[in-house]
Each structure stands twice: as structure tokens, then as C-alpha cells.
Amino acid sequence: MQMQLDINGRKIAVDAPADMPLLWVLRDQLGMTGTKFGCGMAQCGACTVHLDGQPVRACQTPVESAVGAKIATIEGVNDKIAAAIRASWVKLDVPQCGYCQSGQIMSAVALLRENQKPSDEDIDAAMQGNLCRCATYQRIRAAIHDAAKSLA
């Protein structure tokens, strides 16, 4: 099926089965490998992208359902909030192996866009679907607070 996707502000034509996961299209067809494959079952958050600003699991999002939406991936989130998140991630040395971190950052950016001053509970609720094998959770939480402070 021929489709036109809006990815990171660019219109991109793809030819894929309607039910192919968006993650497959991003990684295998378009070579956008910043978005990771972890579980393939919407259980880990490694594949998190934004659809119209909302975090979704690309491994369980049929590509057809993303037609007409603004898709943002880790390669394309470049606003003030994303810059603050990235800076705090670096400052606090958040990643360990790094595998989960694209998804963590996408969820953190979505959180700070909705809530400029999240509490620990808000952070835990927003980030609970993003697993980290290296257990960087404390640094993630601290970095979100740090980014929020830098934006205030």
C-alpha cells in the first residue's frame, strides 16, 4: 500500500502493508534506527515515538494508523524542551548501555510539554512504560527535574 507519512516535518512516501508496525517502516525501510526495537509487544518503551505529540509504541502502531498524523522520532525532536532534556541527560550522565534511552527521552519530552513542573509521582506515572535494563531510573528522574528547572 502506498502511503505518505509526515515524519519530523518531512513528507515521506512509503510502500508497506497497512498493518506493518510503524517501527519496521522507520527502521527497516527508512533507516531511522534511533528508535529501538526491544520487546515488540508494547511492554518496554524502547520504540517510543510521538504521534501528534503523544508518546506511542511504534512496535504496536500499524503504519496505516499514522497516516495524517505528525510523527516525531528521536532524530526530529529539536524544540526547546528536547534541548533541555538532552542537556540534562548529558549533565547527569543518565545513559548506561543507552539502548532504552531514545524511548526514555521521547517520553520525557512529552511529559515536560504537558507538565512543566512534574513531581516525582508525575514522572513515575509518565515514565512507567519505559523500562531500563540498566536501572537508570533515579538519574532519569533527576534529569527530568533538572531540565524542568532549566526551563523555568
Q: Is 62 helix (H, G, I), strand (E, B) or coil?
A: strand
Q: Which of 4, 9, 43, 91 binds ligand FES (CB under 6 A)?
A: 43
Q: Which of 98, 120, 138, 149 binds ligand FES (CB under 6 A)?
A: 98
- Pick from 109, 105, 103, 144: which is nearest to 124 by CA? 144
Is 132 an interacting residue with respect to ligand FES (CB under 6 A)? yes
Instruction: Find the part of the chain contacting ligand FES (CB under 6 A) among 33-41, 64-72, 80-88, 116-124.
Output: 33-41
Spatial separation of the C-alpha atoms in residues 133 and 10, rounded to whole Å:
33
Q: Is 123 helix (H, G, I), strand (E, B) or coil?
A: helix
Q: Which of 5, 16, 22, 44 binds ligand FES (CB under 6 A)?
A: 44
Closer CB to ligand FES, residue 9 or residue 138?
A: 138
Tell me how far, at minimum, the Cβ of 55 lies from ligand FES, in Å.
11
* Amino acid symbol at 48: T
- Pick from 96, 94, 31: which is nearest to 108 by CA? 94
Is 40 an interacting residue with respect to ligand FES (CB under 6 A)? yes
Whole-Å CA distances, 59 to 19, 29, 46, 74, 135: 11, 14, 9, 15, 22
Site size with ligand FES, rule: CB under 6 A = 23
Q: Which of 7, 14, 26, 38 binds ligand FES (CB under 6 A)?
A: 38
